[in-house]
Amino acid sequence: MNITRENIDELNAVLKVDIAKEDYSGKVEKVLKDYRKNANIPGFRKGHVPMGMVKKQYGKAVLVDEVNKLLQDALNKYLTEEKLDVLGNPLPKEQENFDWDSDNYTFEFELGLSPQFEVSLDNEKPITHYNIVAGDEMIDNQVKTLQKQYGKLVSKESAEEGDQLSGTFKNEAEGIENKTTLPLEKVKNKEPFLGAKAGDTVKVSTKGLFEDDHQLMDFLEVEHDKAHGLDVEVEFHVEEVNTQELADLDQELFDKLFGEGEVTSVTELKEKIKEDAAKQFEQQSDQQLLNDVTEMLIENTQFDLPKEFLQKWIQTAGEKELSAEEAQEEYEKSEKGLRFQLIEGKLIQDNNLEVKFEDLKAFAKERIKEQMAQFGQMNPEEKELDDIAARILSRQDEVKRLSEQLMNQKLLSLYKEKVNLEEKEVTYEEFVKEVYE
């Protein structure tokens, strides 16, 4: 067997693979002998079918199969040994007058080669790195939420703004009968409920009862499709009227929230809320930085791609073969992503970034600890963490997902170290307005 390469240009090449009879004949003979041993052909005992008959029936299919296997192995080995960085897979060229009845074969394959380029993290115009903080209004709202959460319900005679009613929604014709607690702050049309007392029946229309029709699913327990545009009259039979009495901002509440003595004043409470919010916002800030650096790198790193080859490859790469026009459209949609994939690969190579198993295990354990903390398990044992991490890392899809997340963290650290950044403190509302609007 002989493989030669002709470079058409810097991005395209043709591989020529010559396969002689001695390369495949032994393998074909072995397979046919195995067929003969197991062949069931009427008139012959098992294992005694004439080889000529076996060759006539199976010879061509076995020959094609074995040559294709040999060809695939040879291509993979050649690309590895030559350290060729290719895009997509080798594409077989159409060959006129190809004859499987010959003893020797020649195959040709088109290759799309990765471009050679350099990546620079030096950017003249600084990229904004947002430090997102909770504004005073957000902090005050969070304090109120905590007071409500740890407050208590107090029964009262008649309903006012901000109260909540316990009772049952009914409409016999529509099959609606659902006992629920109805916070008046959720209701768009509050007027019929104001002044209601235990034992009263309030009649309202479902149309416009809430800002979002989806809430009818929760409070009336109707199906999703039915909730959209539902316009019927329902009765609400009031059983209780309650108001939420806010918890006092005292040491008892502080200790419940953060542990004994950790917070001792409203000022410290607000500072703690601000710190916790900053940690939550950090992920959004980092993701935006990744997005902005990605855009900068794509814009500043110029190189050509083997466009025609890639469009041909896209035509046949999926389950369904695409037309030339469909492949061109698909290429145009994916070109930007492909460019960054190559840029990212170059950055990883140039900066010797790698995901080692021990790093991956430690990363997985940190993720597990975060999830357990959400359910109140603050100090899990090391053995428990090791056991859960081992189960997770035994699954290939989880290893891939976590490896990508960890590599993103390594890239993020690289960007923070080397990219020209401009720190900017903003409230969450300012961040949303500046980035998304």
Residue 311 has pLDDT above 90, yes or no: yes
Q: Are residues 226 and 284 in the same domain?
A: no
Burial class, 383, CB count within 10 angstroms (exposed 0-12 / middle 13-18 / buried 19+): exposed
Mean pLDDT of the chain: 92
**For position 94, what pLDDT does the model report?**
87
DSSP alpha helices (H): ranges in 41-186?
Answer: 51-81, 136-149
Q: Within 10 Å of residue 208's Cβ, how many Cβ atoms?
A: 11
Q: Are residues 162 and 215 in the same domain?
A: yes
Residue 19 has pLDDT above 80, yes or no: yes
In a domain, 215, yes or no: yes
In a domain, 197, yes or no: yes
56: confidence class by pLDDT, cuts 50, 70, 90: confident
**For position 106, what pLDDT does the model report?**
94
Residue 307 has pLDDT above 90, yes or no: yes
**For position 118, what pLDDT does the model report?**
96
Domain count, the chain: 3
**Which CATH number do you get for residue 61?**
3.30.70.1050
Q: Are residues 163 and 81 in the same domain?
A: no
Q: Are residues 109 and 170 in the same domain?
A: no
**For position 433, what pLDDT does the model report?**
93
Instruction: For 172, list phi and psi in degrees, rounded to 5.
Output: -60, -40
**Residue tagged 């809320």 (tokens):** 273
Residue 203 has pLDDT above 90, yes or no: yes
Mean pLDDT throughout 316-342? 93
241: confidence class by pLDDT, cuts 50, 70, 90: very high
Assessment of whether the complete model's pTM goes beyond 0.75: no
Q: Are residues 308 and 220 in the same domain?
A: no
**Which CATH number do you get for residue 223?**
3.10.50
Q: Are residues 287 and 404 in the same domain?
A: yes
Dig out the tokens for 381 from the structure.
Answer: 């044992």
Residue 340 has pLDDT above 80, yes or no: yes
In a domain, 120, yes or no: no
In a domain, 255, yes or no: no
> β-strand 127-133 against 176-183: which pairing, if any?
unpaired
Mean pLDDT throughout 137-154? 91
Residue 429 makes CB contacts below 8 A (sequence gap 6+) with: 135, 138
> β-strand 164-171 against 2-7: which pairing, if any?
unpaired
**Which CATH number do you get for residue 322?**
1.10.3120
In a domain, 181, yes or no: yes
Q: What percent of the chain has pLDDT over 90?
A: 79
Q: Are residues 361 and 424 in the same domain?
A: yes
Mean pLDDT throughout 114-134? 94
Distance of alpha carbon 302 from alpha carbon 429, whole angstroms: 36
Q: Are residues 319 and 179 in the same domain?
A: no
In a domain, 258, yes or no: no
Q: Which domain holds residue 331?
A: 274-436
End-to-end CA gap in the chain: 62
In a domain, 145, yes or no: no
Residue 47 has pLDDT above 80, yes or no: no
The rounded Cα 15 to chain-centroid distance in angstroms is 37
